[in-house]
Amino acid sequence: MDENGLGPLMGPLVVTGVLLKQPGKEVWFDDISDSKDFFSRNTNDFSRLEETATALFYLCNKKPPLSPLEILLSFCGIYKCLSGLNICTGNIPQEFIWSDDEKRKRRCELLCKWMDKKAIEIENIRSIAICPKRINMSIEKGNNKLFLDFFGFCDIVKAIPDKNGLTVYAGKVGGLKFYRKYLGYRLPDYQCEVIEENDEASLYRMEGKNENFTLGFFTDVENKSFSATLSSLIGKYIRELFMAGIRKTLGISEDISGYHDRKTKSCISKLSLNNFPSSCLFRER
């Protein structure tokens, strides 16, 4: 599991988990490693990101997606808008905007062939998107936004039907080292035994009535788990789809990221919100 969009000015926080069977030691597809190296805001990397998301959709659904919207609905769904204005969700792209058919097809073939060779099976992909309005409301109640990330991780774990024998890799939540107390609160049906807790890894054995699994929070989790790398890539793609929808809804022609960069800040300073509430668009923290 990994998160995307914890600290931007605009757009959702996206928490994603990829459930896969992988025999033997961790292996990575040739150009899928740390998503920070894979992904930057230029056309080529957006193309590769969309091609990879399409291939992963195929592996989960055994058919190619018809549109980015279908990928979003499969992995994430669309949450109910609290304002009723559908700022984030009303204009999700319904046509592929960063890649072409042939490259998507070719990448799908390569990734499927490689996974077959390595005997890797993707069983499920799930993302949770938390919009700025929900983030702001949670912060107003005294919650730290880091724990929205942690709560998302726990919700993804709870949704897995059979966790027996599972090993879960998650990114460290901020600089947090000790998770036992919070796991007891969010996963109360399990006894939590500490395996190790340090700056690099916080690892726990979770014992339930009929199942047990290992849950770990790691620094640089994408360098330790191929599934975490895939989680980060899918989360980045889903967040970009939301941002594309937001830009279209607001009539923003510039390809802003929503992060604390000069281009985003300059665009926001010129933005006319009309009837759009700022709390639905911008993070208060």
- Extended beta strands in the chain, E state: 2-4, 13-21, 121-130, 167-171, 191-197, 201-207, 212-218
Q: What is the pLDDT of residue 155?
A: 96
Q: Is the pLDDT of residue 110 over 80?
A: yes
Residues 271, 9: contact at Cβ < 8 Å?
A: no
For residues 36 and 4, the model is more confident at 4
Q: Is the pLDDT of residue 42 over 80?
A: no
Would you state the torsion angle of the CA atoms of residues 172, 175, 178, 179, taken in this order, to the nearest 10 degrees? -40
Which is it for the CA torsion 91, 94, 99, 104, positive or negative? positive
| Residue with token string 């304002």 | 83
C-alpha span between 105 and 108 (Å, rounded): 5
The pLDDT tens digits of the residues spanning 54-71 come to 999 999 999 999 999 999
Reported confidence tier of residue 46, pLDDT bands at 50, 70, 90: confident
Q: Is 101 exposed, middle or buried (0-12, 13-18, 19+ CB in 10 A)?
A: exposed
Q: What is the pLDDT of residue 284?
A: 82
Q: Is the pLDDT of residue 35 over 60?
A: no
Q: What is the pLDDT of residue 278?
A: 87
The pLDDT tens digits of the residues spanning 131-149 come to 999 999 999 988 888 889 9
Query: At 205, phi and psi to the nearest 5?
Result: -100, 120
Percent of the chain with pLDDT over 90: 71
Judged by DSSP in three states, 270 sits in coil
Bridge partners of 10, per DSSP, are 282
The CATH T-level fold of domain 2-163+223-281 is Nucleotidyltransferase; domain 5 (3.30.420)
Q: What is the pLDDT of residue 34?
A: 56
Q: Is the pLDDT of residue 201 over 80?
A: yes
Bridge partners of 30, per DSSP, are none
What does the domain layout of the chain look like in residue ranges? 2-163+223-281
Query: At 109, phi and psi to the nearest 5?
Result: -60, -45
The mean pLDDT of the chain is 91
Q: What is the pLDDT of residue 120?
A: 93
Reported confidence tier of residue 172, pLDDT bands at 50, 70, 90: very high
Q: Is the pLDDT of residue 27 over 70?
A: yes
